[in-house]
Amino acid sequence: MEKVTRFSISVDTELLKKYDALLKETGYSNRSEAIRDLIRERLIKEEWTDPKKKVVGVLVLVYDHETRELTEVLNQIQHRHVQVVIASLHVHMDAHNCLEIIVLKGSVSRVRKIAQELLTLRNVKHGQLTMTTTGVDIP
């Protein structure tokens, strides 16, 4: 079991009331676990500021599969970055629109660069990159 350190903090009464209500609504059983999650979230976001730090990213793209050559270009880019693109899932949303979910693992700078290359392709209707930690440096 990992060592736990107790510490106290001072918080405005109204702020704490609102926070406790949020914890109850979201299902946290105690303040400690919620505070630990806040600390982890901040540490993870800090990782994203280091361009060399390893992260995992999930890129979601929506596009019309009937757009000439777009599917082929998407595949070419993914294959060109096979060291970073570790998985993808293709979903047929309707007769025309597809959802592509691409998992990337690598340095912050490479993940962002590849995501930007895919997001800015002509006829990609919408896209979003979500990054998270590899978990290595987060207790």
Domain layout of the chain by residue ranges: 13-47, 54-133
The backbone torsions φ and ψ at residue 89, rounded to the nearest 5 degrees and listed phi first, read -135, 130
Residue 122 host element (H or E): none
**What is the architecture of the domain spanning 54-133?**
2-Layer Sandwich (3.30)
| Whole-number Cα distances in Å, 58 to 4, 26, 85 | 32, 24, 10
Q: What does the radius of gyration of the chain's CA atoms come to, in whole angstroms?
A: 20
Cα-Cα-Cα-Cα torsion 115, 117, 123, 128, nearest 10 degrees, comes to 20
Percent of the chain with pLDDT over 90: 82
CA distance 41 to 133: 9
CA distance 108 to 88: 19
Q: For 67-76, what is each residue's pLDDT tens digit?
A: 889 999 999 9
What local confidence, expressed as pLDDT, does residue 45 receive?
Answer: 87
Q: Evaluate if residue 1 carries a pLDDT over 90.
A: no
Q: Evaluate if residue 50 carries a pLDDT over 60.
A: yes
